[in-house]
Copies of this chain bind each other. A is one copy, B any other.
Amino acid sequence: MSTQQSLPKYLQISELLIRDIAAGRLEDGARLPTERDLAAQLSTSVGTLRKALSELERQGLLERVQGSGNYIRSKSEVNSIYSFFRVELLEGGGLPRAEVLDVSKQAKPTEFPYFGSNNEGFRIRRMRYLNDIPAVLEEIWLDANHAKTITPADLNEALYVYYRKSLDLWITRVEDRIGLQPKPTWCPEYLHLNDTTVCVDRLSFDQRDQPVEFSKSWINSDVAQYVARIK
């Protein structure tokens, strides 16, 4: 049988604090109780608590100041903000790879924005890899008006290429919104996501500037310390 163990205590604590931040119970700038006090409240040792706090610091949610205290640094406001950001992967080096996890036709969730008149859509779930590291979990919804069926075999090439070649559908523009959202319930075990994680919502528009596709991308929090160089 599987020996599915509960998370280590230090991760349980960091996730607890993250939820408190996301829910607004801990606001930006707030100072935590002293480590000894907080450890006592949580029935843990100072060392374990410190490891949890280090995790928060690594995620940029906490600033730790020796001699002073631990301060929340939440870049919140997340939900209400509209930011446009297009995230794609590069060809050079290893090809960016995507593995299709599931394809199905479903009724569109009611909370989604408008992306076509059909009540149903094709739902594609896939994992994108960067250098063979699972990096981004995606759920892509295409309005059902644009295809009779879609199978994983159709998706061997880039999605937009498939749209163009097989569906006569050109994506000419996208709008992205970045924010924090809950981890999806269908996230595979091998991709580590926090309970609340960075998520990009994308609405894609066709050649007539009509919205035809909506997608959500959850970014691997282990891969969330970014980087690179400006060319």
Residues of chain A whose beta carbon lies under 8 Å from any beta carbon of chain B = 60, 75-90, 93, 96, 130-131, 133, 135, 158-160, 171, 173-181, 194, 196-198, 200, 202, 219-231
Contacts and interface: CB of A to CB of B under 8 A. Distances in A.
Contacts of A220: 83
Given A80-B131, A81-B194, A82-B221, A87 B228 contact: yes
A84 B231 contact: no
B175 A84 contact: no
Contact of A86 (B180, B222, B229): B229
A186 B78 CA distance: 23
B86 A226 contact: yes
A227 B201 CA distance: 10
Contacts of A87: 85, 227-228, 230
The 6 A-B pairs with the shortest beta carbon distances in the complex, nearest first, are A86-B228, A90-B229, A83-B223, A176-B226, A84-B227, A75-B179
A177 to B, nearest CB: 5
Nearest to A177: B60
- Copies of this chain present in the complex amount to 2
Given A85-B87, A194-B83, A231-B93, A226 B175 contact: yes
Contacts of A78: 180
21 contacts: A60-B179, A77-B196, A80-B93, A80-B130, A83-B194, A83-B197, A83-B219, A83-B222, A84-B130, A85-B198, A85-B226, A85-B227, A86-B224, A90-B227, A93-B231, A175-B227, A176-B226, A176-B228, A177-B226, A178-B180, A228-B229
Contact of A85 (B75, B76, B84, B219): B219
Contact of A228 (B60, B88, B180, B221): B88
Nearest to A133: B83
A89 B229 contact: yes
A175 B198 CA distance: 14
B84 A223 contact: yes
Nearest to A222: B84
A160 B229 contact: yes
